[in-house]
Amino acid sequence: MHSKLATLLMIVAVSTSTAFGQDLDSPKTINIEAAQLQLIVNVEVASRDAGIIESIGFSEGSEVSADDILVRLDRDSESANVSSARSELEIASEESENDIDLRYAKVSQDVNRKVYQRSLNATKQYAKSVSKTELERLKLEFEKAKLSGEQAQRTATVKELTVELKKAQLELASVRLENREIKSPVGGVVVQVYRQVGEWVQPGQPIARVIDLKKLKVSCRCQLKDAAPESIDEEAIFIHDGKEFKAKVVFASPEIDPDVQDFIVWAEVENADGALKPGMSGSIELQKQD
């Protein structure tokens, strides 16, 4: 009796699992024919400014690192702008440090205040010791000294702002000079050179194309009956000509093709030794998560 009950429960459990798409004997590994290998890094290096190419520091097949200088444009005009901006900054800094007018205004204000105050005190003690006209003149001189002090302070503030402006102008001139050196934004191999020394280039005009072969990408389509998108593990293996290469799944599309019931999977393939080339095809071995 107990044996029959246990058998019945096992049949029900297996039927329930199958009904919900959970095949207890389904494999953890899925081998799929993949599409062609593609580049991940494929950059056309362009000029930021207009100018004449003075030198080209690479050729097709050259390996470059990120920030390597590929091309230099003529620099005379921008170098002169940097020198001019630096001189203007030095002049502005010297003027800003010169506080003679401000110090004089403060002393003048203090002296005129004391003279005016003494005259007022004298008038209080001895009537008519200082004429009304003289008092008004002294008051005017005191007010004038105060205004001169405010003006001197304002001038000092303007000088400080001028220094900051000249710093910004020097920085801008330096950036423009730096832009005359066109650098590679990525590391890789130069596969195309579009320009020659002496040619005029416009901003945004491509000069060279750089690719990186150390990591490639490949896509495949996984059947929903084999795995759901959320069940695909990161670890994968790309197989080409019987050789295995470590891969990493970076994207499993949540969109299911309603006609064939499959979805796209993208994976990055390690290619440090350069054995793989864009355009090669093979298969990919995906892993299902527990």
Domain assignment of residue 234, yes or no: no
pLDDT tens digits, one per residue of 116-162: 676 667 666 666 666 667 667 766 676 776 777 677 777 778 888 99
Domain assignment of residue 69, yes or no: no
Q: What is the pLDDT of residue 86?
A: 93
Q: What is the pLDDT of residue 102?
A: 65
Distance separating alpha carbons of residues 229 and 85, to the nearest angstrom = 59
Domain assignment of residue 248, yes or no: no
pLDDT tens digits, one per residue of 79-97: 999 999 999 999 988 887 7
Average pLDDT over residues 26-47: 88
Specify the number of domains making up the chain.
Answer: 1
- Give the three-state DSSP class for 213: strand
Q: Domain range for residue 134? A: 76-178
Domain assignment of residue 95, yes or no: yes
Average pLDDT over residues 24-44: 83
> What is the CB neighbour count within 10 angstroms for residue 223?
13
Domain assignment of residue 260, yes or no: no
Judged against a pLDDT cut of 60, whether residue 220 lies above it is answered with yes
Torsion of CA 52, 57, 61, 66, to 10 degrees: -100
Domain assignment of residue 137, yes or no: yes
Domain assignment of residue 120, yes or no: yes
Q: Is the pTM for the entire model greater than 0.85?
A: no
**What does residue 113 show for φ and ψ, rounded to 5 degrees?**
-65, -45
Domain assignment of residue 24, yes or no: no
